[in-house]
C-alpha cells in the first residue's frame, strides 16, 4: 500500500510516532489510510454543510475497515464572486484545488481518496487531482439546493439575477423583487438548476467517478448522507481492487460524458472542465467531436435556466441512470467502462427508467433532435467558441447585427443598464479571457441584464470570457483565440456586422481579409491588468479556453 512508507518497518518509526501523536493506535496504523478531502466552508451555500457529509464518509470508511483522515480544499462561490474582481479567482481556483490535493496526498501517501465536493470549480479541480495522482478515488457531492417558490411557481438563483434588471426597468415591483431575493435560494446546496455545479456533479456520475444519485439527490435529503456512507465503503473496495481514476475515466467515459451533457443541456463550463480533466488523464479531449456527438444526441431535459424544471425533479424522474438508460436505446453510449461501483455502466443502469416524461423526455419525443451545447467556428473564432443551444430562443438561433464593442464586463453592463443597447445588436465583451481577464470571468450579470430588460429575443452577447450555468439566451463564450493574444475578437470595431448561425455551427464577422490584416498590423498587446500575485502567474501559463484553460 502507498501508506507503507509511513507505517511499515524500522525506518518508519518516526512517522509512526507522529501518527500516534494524532491519536492513532497500532491497529489503525496497520489499516489503509484514506484521505478525505473536505471542501466545507461557511461562505458557499453548497459547502456550508459538507462537514455532515464528511462525517458520514468517515463512518463509511471506518465500516469498511479503513482509517479516515480529513484535510481541506478551498472553494469559491461563483454567485458571491459575480460582478466584481472576485470573479477573476473563480476558474483559477480549480488549479489551486488540484495542486493542493496533489501536494497533500503526495506528502502524506494515502491509500485512497474520497473527494467531498459541491460547487463549480471544486468538482473539476478535485477530479483533476484524482486523475493526476491516480490512486483509488471517489467523488461525493453535497447535492443540489431545493428550488424556491414564488407565487406558486418554482424559482432559482437565475430568477433573482434577472430580477435585478426587471426591477431597474420597472417590470416588477419592489415587493416581488424582495420576494425573489428572499425565496430564490431557499436551502443549502448547489443552486437548483442545471448550472455548472450540478452539471459537473451529474457528469461525475457519467464519468464513473461517483455513485448513482450523486448528481441529483437534493442536499437536504437523508439519502445524501446514506450515499456519503456508501461512498466511504466504496473507496475501500476500490483500494482492495486497486481500481484507479485512469482505469475509470477512459476516452470512452469522456465520450459518454459529452453525450449525456448534450442530453441534459449542461452548463457551457463543462466544455472547459471536461478537457481539463481529460488532460490530467493523459489525453486531449478535442471539442471538435462535441458537434458530432451533439448532432446525433437528442436533448431530453430542459432544466433551469433553459426550462422550468429543477434538479430535485430530475432526481424524482429517475436521475442520471434514467437519462443514460434512455440514451442507450439509441446505442449512443459505451456501456463497457468500469465505474467506482465496481460494476460497468451497463450494470449500473440496468433497470433504470424514466418516471416523469416531462422532466426526462423519451428519445422518441425529445425537446430537440440535437444536443444542448454547440461549438461554433468562423472568422470571429477560428479556434471555436461555445453556446448553450438549448437555452437560446428559437428566433435567436440565427442572428446578424452590428457589434457593440466593450473591453470589460463593467463597460458593457453600464451600456445595458443605461439603455444604450438596441434590438438587433451583438454585444461583444473582450479582454476577459483566461489571459486577458485574467481568469475568464463569468458574464451572468450582462446576460441577466439583457434578459431582464426584455432584449433576450433580439440581442446576442459574445465574449472571450465565459458564462454562468445560470445564463440563458444567445450567449456565446470562450471565443478563441482571445483578445489578449490578438485573436480576431480583438480587431472587431463598433458597427462591424457579426453573423451567428447556431444550426450551422458558424460565427463570422463581415470584414474582408485585407481589412483584418491592416487591423492586425496596427494592433498592440495591452498591458496586463494584474502584474503580481497568483493571477499574474496564472495569466503567463494558462492555455486557451477551447483547450480547457489548463496550465502548461
Q: Which residues are catalytic?
A: 468
Length of the chain: 552
Helix/strand/coil for 189: coil
Grid coordinates belonging to 265: 443541456
Q: Which residues of 420-444 are buried (b: 16+ CB within 10 A; e: fewer)?
A: ebeeebbbbbbbbbbbbbbbbbbbb
- Comparing C-alpha atoms, which of 66, 69, 7, 57 is closest to residue 32? 66
Distance CA 185, CA 197 (A): 15
90-107 vs 270-281: helix crossing angle, rounded to 10: 30
Residue 275's alpha-carbon distances to 287, 310, 547, in angstroms, are 8, 26, 6
Q: SS3 string of 440-488?
A: CCECHHHHHHHHHCCCCCCCEEEECCECCCCCCCCEEEEEECCHHHCCH
Q: Which residues of 10-47 are buried (b: 16+ CB within 10 A; e: fewer)?
A: eebeebbeebeeeebeeebbebbbbbbbbbbbeebbbb
For 402, the enclosing helix (H) or strand (E) is: strand 398-406
Helix/strand/coil for 397: coil
Distance CA 297, CA 302 (A): 14
Residue 309's alpha-carbon distances to 194, 306, 393, 415, 487, in angstroms, are 9, 9, 17, 32, 38
Helices assigned H by DSSP within 352-406: none
Distance CA 423, CA 248 (A): 48
Grid coordinates belonging to 150: 414564488
Amino acid at each position: 500500500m502507498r501508506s507503507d512508507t509511513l507505517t511499515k518497518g524500522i525506518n518508519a518509526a518516526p512517522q509512526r510516532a507522529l501518527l500516534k501523536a494524532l491519536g492513532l493506535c497500532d491497529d489503525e496504523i496497520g489499516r489503509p489510510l484514506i484521505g478525505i478531502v473536505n471542501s466545507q466552508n461557511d461562505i458557499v451555500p453548497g459547502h456550508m454543510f459538507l462537514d455532515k457529509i464528511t462525517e458520514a464518509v468517515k463512518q463509511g470508511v471506518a465500516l469498511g475497515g479503513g482509517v479516515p483522515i480529513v484535510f481541506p480544499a478551498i472553494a469559491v462561490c461563483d454567485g458571491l464572486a459575480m460582478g466584481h474582481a472576485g470573479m477573476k479567482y473563480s476558474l483559477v481556483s480549480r488549479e489551486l484545488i488540484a495542486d493542493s490535493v496533489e501536494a497533500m496526498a503526495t506528502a502524506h501517501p494515502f491509500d485512497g481518496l474520497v473527494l467531498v465536493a459541491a460547487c463549480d470549480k471544486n468538482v473539476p479541480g478535485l477530479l483533476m487531482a484524482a486523475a493526476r495522482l491516480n490512486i483509488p478515488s471517489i467523488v461525493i457531492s453535497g447535492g443540489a439546493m431545493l428550488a424556491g417558490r414564488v407565487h406558486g411557481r418554482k424559482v432559482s438563483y437565475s430568477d433573482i439575477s434577472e430580477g435585478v434588471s426587471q426591477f431597474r426597468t420597472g417590470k416588477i415591483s419592489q415587493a416581488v423583487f424582495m420576494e425573489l431575493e428572499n425565496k430564490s435560494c431557499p436551502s443549502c446546496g448547489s443552486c437548483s438548476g442545471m448550472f455548472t455545479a450540478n452539471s459537473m456533479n451529474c457528469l461525475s456520475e457519467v464519468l464513473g467517478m461517483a455513485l448513482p444519485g450523486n448528481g441529483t439527490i437534493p442536499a437536504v435529503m437523508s439519502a445524501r448522507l446514506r450515499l456519503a456512507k456508501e461512498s466511504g465503503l466504496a473507496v475501500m473496495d476500490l483500494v482492495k481492487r486497486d481500481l484507479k481514476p485512469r482505469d475509470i475515466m477512459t476516452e470512452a467515459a469522456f465520450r459518454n460524458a459529452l453525450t449525456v451533457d448534450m442530453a441534459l443541456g449542461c452548463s457551457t463550463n463543462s466544455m472547459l472542465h471536461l478537457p481539463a480533466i481529460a488532460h490530467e488523464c493523459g489525453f486531449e479531449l478535442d471539442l471538435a467531436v462535441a458537434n458530432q456527438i451533439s448532432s446525433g444526441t437528442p436533448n431530453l431535459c430542459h432544466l433551469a435556466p433553459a426550462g422550468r424544471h429543477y434538479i430535485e425533479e430530475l432526481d424524482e424522474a429517475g436521475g442520471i441512470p434514467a437519462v443514460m438508460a434512455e440514451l442507450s436505446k439509441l446505442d449512443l453510449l459505451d456501456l463497457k467502462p468500469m465505474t467506482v461501483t465496481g460494476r460497468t455502466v451497463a450494470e449500473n443502469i440496468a433497470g433504470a427508467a424514466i418516471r416523469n416524461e416531462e422532466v426526462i423526455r423519451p428519445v422518441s419525443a425529445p425537446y430537440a433532435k440535437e444536443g444542448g451545447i454547440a461549438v461554433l467556428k468562423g472568422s470571429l473564432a477560428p479556434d471555436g467558441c461555445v453556446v448553450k443551444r438549448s437555452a437560446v430562443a428559437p428566433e435567436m438561433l440565427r442572428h446578424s447585427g452590428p457589434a457593440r464593442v466593450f473591453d470589460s464586463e463593467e463597460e458593457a453592463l453600464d451600456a445595458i443598464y443605461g439603455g444604450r443597447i438596441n434590438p438587433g445588436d451583438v454585444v461583444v465583451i473582450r479582454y476577459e479571457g483566461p489571459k486577458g481577464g485574467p481568469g475568464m470571468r463569468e458574464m451572468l450579470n450582462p446576460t441577466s441584464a439583457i434578459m431582464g430588460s426584455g432584449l433576450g429575443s433580439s440581442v446576442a452577447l459574445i465574449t472571450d470570457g465565459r458564462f454562468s450555468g445560470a445564463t440563458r439566451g444567445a450567449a456565446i463564450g470562450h471565443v478563441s483565440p482571445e483578445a489578449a493574444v490578438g485573436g480576431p475578437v480583438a480587431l472587431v470595431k463598433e458597427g462591424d456586422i457579426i453573423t451567428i448561425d447556431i444550426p450551422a455551427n458558424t460565427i463570422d464577422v463581415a470584414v474582408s481579409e485585407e481589412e483584418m490584416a491592416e487591423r492586425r498590423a496596427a494592433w498592440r498587446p495591452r498591458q496586463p491588468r494584474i502584474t503580481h500575485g497568483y493571477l499574474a502567474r496564472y495569466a503567463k501559463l494558462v492555455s486557451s479556453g477551447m483547450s480547457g484553460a489548463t496550465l502548461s
